[in-house]
A and B are shown apart, each in its own frame.
Chain A
Amino acid sequence: MSTQQPEQPESQEAPKDPEMRGAESAVDEKEKEDGEIDQTTADKSELEGETVLIKVFRYDPEVEGKQEPRFDDFHVPFEKGMTVLDAVMYARDHYDSSLTFRHSCRQAVCGSDAFFVNGKQRLGCKTQMADLEHPVRIEPLPHQEVVKDLVVDMDHFYDQMHTVEPYFQNEETPDSSDLEEQRQTRENREKVKMSTRCIWCGACASSCNIAAGDNEYLGPAAINKAYRFAMDNREPEDVKEHRLRIIEQEHGVWRCQTQFSCTEVCPKDIPLTEHIQELKREAVKKNLKFW
């Protein structure tokens, strides 16, 4: 795979040229704070009928003129309900068909359109343009190699997910003579419910400072996946111990410094940090038991 890690321009270096689909990159005229809370400059009714400006990160390793990362400007006609994904799709379909990003379901369940929007990891399809400060800056997820434009290499993320053995390990399966399901209490389902909602978008891992500095750290998504199984009472106790040993390794749960950035960006509202802390407690309890 021909991926490389280009230097992404600092957020302050967003281009200034507001010309239509400016193919030129430039430096933004003013610095902006990376808003943890977006300040809406215009409410929806004010934006109606207007065009909005998006500044989109561009990079292609093999196309001359795109090998140096840059931002392109696109002026997109605003419609009520328009999302960030709608805006980049409009720009691609009307101005530049080479503008590249992943997307599919556009209803926040396929997890493929996680971008870095105005300095925060978000799903393009469920982020309303009207709720953002304008102009809207759209970049690929940080801390992952950029393949092209907004597409990042997800292989490392998938590898980490696979490291925790993300599959049920109760070996009993029914046959036609035995159609009984395993029993699971409502309480136990409730306990694992949020953890099962993960859509593998990678926003959490991208937001995590520890993951950024330690490539071997399992990261919040993989640990949450381990939690999903470790806390499911349908798996036997010895499997749970096996799972705790996996997440307790050197680059496992103990690396987490409880900064809550993963929890903050998760588009499915999974309490990732809480799950990591709970696994730490479970691991301690298991170790105490062996003494």
Chain B
Amino acid sequence: MYEHDVIVVGAGGAGLRAAVAADEAGADVALVSKLHPVRSHTGAAEGGINAALQEGDDWELHAYDTMKGSDYLGDAPAVETLAQDAPEDTIKLEHWGMPFSREEDGRVSQRPFGGLSYPRTTYAGAETGHHLLHVMYEQVVKRGIQVYDEWYVMDLAVSDEDDPNERDCHGIVAYDVQTGNIEGFKANDGVVLATGGPGQAFDHTTNAVSCTGDGHAMAYRAGAPLEDMEFIQFHPTSLPSTGVLISEGVRGEGGILYNNDGERFMFEHGYANNSGELASRDVVARAELTEVQEGRGVEDEYVHLDMRHLGEERILDRLENILHLAEDFEGVDGLIEPMPVKPGQHYAMGGIEVDENGQTCIDGLYAAGECACVSVHGGNRLGGNALPELIVFGKRAGYHAAGKDLGEPEIRTGYGDDVEDETDTELPVQPGAAGLGTTDDVAADGGERTDGSRSSSEARSDGGVVADADGVLEQTVEDARGHVDSLMDKDTGVQHAEIRQKLQNAMTDYVNVFRTEEGVKKALTLIRECREEYQDVYVDDPSTTFNTDLQQTIETRNLIDVAETIALGALVRNEFRGAHWRQENQTRDDENWLKHTLISWEDGEPNIFYRPVILEGEEKTYEPKVRSY
């Protein structure tokens, strides 16, 4: 068994920042990641970091833009915290050596991004995330922080109280990918999940193959609710063949979108008469697909993004990486021809419900970065707001986990008396655990406990109640070993790749940019089928050395759980807000829906409830207005 004060799971931007903060606060901290830190998906972020740095801009404007962009589903205390902390945290990155793009006077450059009232996106070429990731890893190396790289975290060691709000997280269980060795990691002060997005739930995504929602699924099954999962951002400019991201920076610098008729459709077809290409991402993504659906798409699939008029010098200075991506992955030279683009799954606005300090309703369990929902992005994330989220809330989670006092949070978490219960949504199938009943089935389905908690007295082999940290951890390790054994021992059945593909197709077909009630129900039915098929999943590779077959099999189970929460959220929210477009309801319904969707795992099935959005900020209340660009 390993032991540290703070254990951070995931070593992308948020995880690394959390580890540095916990270290600064005096804790003994360890990072545990299924990848080596520099392989993390933060490295693929291109655009930049929003921070009110210049005279003429201020954090209040940043907060206002973010609330508007969120379609008034962001919680004001979270949004204001982001806007207030971002300048200092961004400048700190510069002092740690981040190679930001520069102005003539040597100061950091900032550029316009969609939905921003001021050009406040600080950037390093079109590879900002790569530099952020490496700078943060450098700081981890400098501080000598322990990194367990290529260790796959399977589960959280959480105690067994009936009420998730009374549970404690004592550590994690992980296995060494290189040897297959399963170990417990005890966290004396806290566990911070920073495991990134769940983009692999979709077929066409800008996300890395490693973005499988592991943190989401582990927290969910431990009892922490997932919040606003229906809000999936589809980025308007991904390459059609691969999903590779073409930065919003292209439009920020003046790139233009054209349809097959050569029309600048954002204006000519009235999608965004003021902001055009720089309208918010949800608006542009819908506009593109509408063009394609109405027969004005190129090859009936995509539209063109043209940056030729910006000139070679400016492109090379600010967007060079885009030229390489278009050439390598689409065979297009962006200097002499327009680039093909279409919407692709990009970001999950929702995630593990946390407060401004990164804490979940489970004591000692934190989340930060894309896997968390504070919520700052609400219904739609503005470009350039993901990276400040990583550093601001990664830092805060790290500090708080290490015992630093950050003040009482205003955002509440978990099931409580301030929530509203779901009543009457008709579901096409029974969601949740499959095959409960026999031990074998339960193990194949993820070592699941019928009551959702890790060590219930009912499910334990010795019938006792686990009370202390070591006991909870030991029990979780034992469960994890049994889980792996059950997957490895089976000789025949279904392989994860088949189930994963079916799941990805279902989500892409039915829970995409445009959604209908019927389609989402179809998706839930298909997800149910995936879950049933997963009962027969097996691992063909018998090796304990670098068994990616085993790892992907466990990841696929996580994707099933996360996809189900996305589809459930999309079904119950029968309004149109931000990235969540519902054909039957083409208006934003503020009267009924200024509230967050929360889904928690209870007794082996999802329970849906709601908590009102907080529109009251430090000094003012953000009044919902019609969102026009």
Known: A107-B245, A109-B43. A167 touches B139 (CB 8 A): yes
Please, which residues of chain B bring their CB within 8 A of the CB of A105? Answer: 39, 41, 43-44, 208-209
Interface residues of B in 100-143 (CB under 8 A from A): 100-108, 125, 127, 130-131, 134-135, 138-139, 141-142
What is the CB-to-nearest-CB distance from B610 to chain A, in angstroms, rounded to a whole number?
36
Known: A104-B209, A162-B141, A197-B130. A181 touches B546 (CB 8 A): no
Is A180 a contact of B36 with CB atoms below 8 Å? no
Task: Please report the C-alpha to C-alpha distance between residue A174 and residue B543 in the assembled complex, in whole angstroms.
Answer: 50
Is B179 a contact of A148 with CB atoms below 8 Å? no
Is A2 a contact of B540 with CB atoms below 8 Å? no
Is B543 a contact of A182 with CB atoms below 8 Å? no
B38 on the interface (CB 8 Å rule)?
Answer: yes
Task: Please report the C-alpha to C-alpha distance between residue A126 and residue B107 in the assembled complex, in whole angstroms.
Answer: 34
Is B127 a contact of A109 with CB atoms below 8 Å? yes
Is B540 a contact of A111 with CB atoms below 8 Å? no
Closest to B130 in A: A109
What is the CB-to-nearest-CB distance from A111 to chain B, in angstroms, rounded to a whole number?
7
Is A196 a contact of B36 with CB atoms below 8 Å? no
Is B36 a contact of A158 with CB atoms below 8 Å? yes
B421 on the interface (CB 8 Å rule)?
Answer: no
Choose among A81, A103, A154, A162 the residue that contacts B209 (Cβ–Cβ < 8 A): A103
A199 on the interface (CB 8 Å rule)?
Answer: yes
A175 on the interface (CB 8 Å rule)?
Answer: yes
Is B541 a contact of A81 with CB atoms below 8 Å? no
Is A112 a contact of B35 with CB atoms below 8 Å? yes
Q: Which of B85-93, B412-420, B458-466, B593-601 contacts A (4 or more CB under 8 A)?
A: B85-93
Closest to B330 in A: A81
Is B179 a contact of A1 with CB atoms below 8 Å? yes
Please, which residues of chain B bring their CB within 8 A of the CB of A81? Answer: 241-242, 329-331
Residue interface bits B530-562, CB-to-A below 8 A is 1, else 0: 000000000111111111110000000000000
A45 on the interface (CB 8 Å rule)?
Answer: no
Choose among B103, B127, B542, B545 the residue that contacts A147 (Cβ–Cβ < 8 A): B545
Interface residues of A in 123-162 (CB under 8 A from B): 126, 147-149, 151, 154, 158, 162
A108 on the interface (CB 8 Å rule)?
Answer: yes
What is the CB-to-nearest-CB distance from B346 to chain A, in angstroms, rounded to a whole number?
13
What is the CB-to-nearest-CB distance from A271 to chain B, in angstroms, rounded to a whole number?
15
Is A147 a contact of B178 with CB atoms below 8 Å? yes
Please, which residues of chain A bring their CB within 8 A of the CB of B406? Answer: none
Please, which residues of chain A bring their CB within 8 A of the CB of B100? Answer: 181, 184, 189
Is A185 a contact of B546 with CB atoms below 8 Å? no
Residue interface bits B545-589, CB-to-A below 8 A is 1, else 0: 111110000000000000000000000000000000000000000
B620 on the interface (CB 8 Å rule)?
Answer: no
Is B497 a contact of A176 with CB atoms below 8 Å? no
Is B39 a contact of A104 with CB atoms below 8 Å? yes
Task: Please report the C-alpha to C-alpha distance between residue A247 and residue B261 in the assembled complex, in whole angstroms.
Answer: 58
What is the CB-to-nearest-CB distance from A265 to chain B, in angstroms, rounded to a whole number?
15
What is the CB-to-nearest-CB distance from A167 to chain B, in angstroms, rounded to a whole number?
4
Is B99 a contact of A112 with CB atoms below 8 Å? no
Known: A61-B545, A148-B546, A162-B141. A182 touches B43 (CB 8 A): no
Known: A98-B541, A166-B138, A186-B104. A199 touches B43 (CB 8 A): yes
What is the CB-to-nearest-CB distance from A93 to chain B, in angstroms, rounded to a whole number?
4
A193 on the interface (CB 8 Å rule)?
Answer: yes
What is the CB-to-nearest-CB distance from A154 to chain B, in angstroms, rounded to a whole number?
7
Is B102 a contact of A100 with CB atoms below 8 Å? no
Choose among A149, A170, A183 the residue that contacts B97 (Cβ–Cβ < 8 A): A170
Choose among B53, B139, B179 the residue that contacts A179 (Cβ–Cβ < 8 A): B53
Please, which residues of chain A bring their CB within 8 A of the CB of B549? Answer: 97-98
Task: Please report the C-alpha to C-alpha distance between residue A36 and residue B70 in the assembled complex, in whole angstroms.
Answer: 52
Is A151 a contact of B546 with CB atoms below 8 Å? yes
Task: Please report the C-alpha to C-alpha distance between residue A101 and residue B183 in the assembled complex, in whole angstroms.
Answer: 24
Known: A104-B208, A105-B41, A179-B91. A63 touches B542 (CB 8 A): yes
A7 on the interface (CB 8 Å rule)?
Answer: no
Task: Please report the C-alpha to C-alpha distance between residue A196 and residue B97 in the assembled complex, in whole angstroms.
Answer: 11
Please, which residues of chain B bring their CB within 8 A of the CB of A181? Answer: 91, 94-95, 100, 107-108
Choose among A126, A167, A175 the residue that contacts B329 (Cβ–Cβ < 8 A): A126
Is B106 a contact of A98 with CB atoms below 8 Å? no
Task: Please report the C-alpha to C-alpha distance between residue A229 and residue B102 in the assembled complex, in whole angstroms.
Answer: 17
Is A168 a contact of B39 with CB atoms below 8 Å? no
Task: Please report the C-alpha to C-alpha distance between residue A166 and residue B37 in the assembled complex, in whole angstroms.
Answer: 14
Is B545 a contact of A62 with CB atoms below 8 Å? yes
Known: A104-B209, A148-B543. A189 touches B43 (CB 8 A): no
B508 on the interface (CB 8 Å rule)?
Answer: no
Please, which residues of chain B bring their CB within 8 A of the CB of A102? Answer: 39
Is B179 a contact of A2 with CB atoms below 8 Å? yes
Please, which residues of chain B bring their CB within 8 A of the CB of A170? Answer: 95, 97
Residues of B within 8 Å of A, CB-based: how many?
67
Is B99 a contact of A185 with CB atoms below 8 Å? no
Is A1 a contact of B178 with CB atoms below 8 Å? yes
Is B178 a contact of A234 with CB atoms below 8 Å? no
Is A184 a contact of B102 with CB atoms below 8 Å? yes
Please, which residues of chain B bring their CB within 8 A of the CB of A154? Answer: 36
What is the CB-to-nearest-CB distance from A175 to chain B, in angstroms, rounded to a whole number?
7
What is the CB-to-nearest-CB distance from B318 to chain A, in angstroms, rounded to a whole number?
12
B526 on the interface (CB 8 Å rule)?
Answer: no
What is the CB-to-nearest-CB distance from A102 to chain B, in angstroms, rounded to a whole number?
8
B25 on the interface (CB 8 Å rule)?
Answer: no
Task: Please report the C-alpha to C-alpha distance between residue A206 and residue B445 in the assembled complex, in whole angstroms.
Answer: 42
What is the CB-to-nearest-CB distance from A149 to chain B, in angstroms, rounded to a whole number?
8
Is A234 a contact of B43 with CB atoms below 8 Å? no
Interface centre among B39, B94, B107, B495 (most CB of A within 10 A): B39
Please, which residues of chain A bring their CB within 8 A of the CB of B138? Answer: 166-168
Please, which residues of chain A bring their CB within 8 A of the CB of B94? Answer: 181-182
Task: Please report the C-alpha to C-alpha distance between residue A196 and residue B31 in the assembled complex, in whole angstroms.
Answer: 24
Choose among A1, A109, A183 the residue that contacts B107 (Cβ–Cβ < 8 A): A183
What is the CB-to-nearest-CB distance from A267 to chain B, in angstroms, rounded to a whole number?
9
Known: A109-B127, A110-B40, A110-B43. A104 touches B545 (CB 8 A): no
A73 on the interface (CB 8 Å rule)?
Answer: no
A172 on the interface (CB 8 Å rule)?
Answer: yes
Is B545 a contact of A2 with CB atoms below 8 Å? yes
Interface centre among A2, A81, A104, A149 (most CB of B within 10 A): A104
Known: A181-B95, A196-B99. A97 touches B44 (CB 8 A): no
Task: Please report the C-alpha to C-alpha distance between residue A234 and residue B99 in the assembled complex, in whole angstroms.
Answer: 10
Please, which residues of chain B bring their CB within 8 A of the CB of A96? Answer: 540
What is the CB-to-nearest-CB distance from B439 to chain A, in angstroms, rounded to a whole number?
25
B325 on the interface (CB 8 Å rule)?
Answer: yes
A173 on the interface (CB 8 Å rule)?
Answer: yes
Known: A98-B549, A106-B208, A154-B36. A173 touches B95 (CB 8 A): yes
Is B39 a contact of A112 with CB atoms below 8 Å? yes
Interface residues of B in 146-172 (CB under 8 A from A): none
B328 on the interface (CB 8 Å rule)?
Answer: yes
Closest to A98 in B: B541
A72 on the interface (CB 8 Å rule)?
Answer: no
Please, which residues of chain A bring their CB within 8 A of the CB of B328? Answer: 108, 126
Closest to B541 in A: A98
Is B104 a contact of A234 with CB atoms below 8 Å? no
A264 on the interface (CB 8 Å rule)?
Answer: no
Q: Can you list 12 A-B contacts with CB-CB less than 8 angstroms, sorted by A residue number?
A: A63-B543, A97-B539, A97-B549, A100-B546, A102-B39, A104-B210, A105-B39, A105-B208, A108-B328, A110-B41, A166-B138, A174-B91
A-B pairs, top 3 by smallest CB distance, nearest first, are: A168-B97, A183-B106, A98-B541
Binding site for B on A (CB under 8 A): 1-3, 60-63, 80-81, 92-94, 96-98, 100-112, 126, 147-149, 151, 154, 158, 162, 166-168, 170, 172-176, 179-186, 189, 192-193, 196-197, 199-200, 229, 232, 234-235
Contacts A109-B44, A199-B38 given; 11 further ones with Cβ under 8 A?
A3-B178, A62-B545, A105-B208, A106-B242, A107-B325, A110-B39, A111-B38, A167-B139, A173-B96, A184-B100, A189-B102
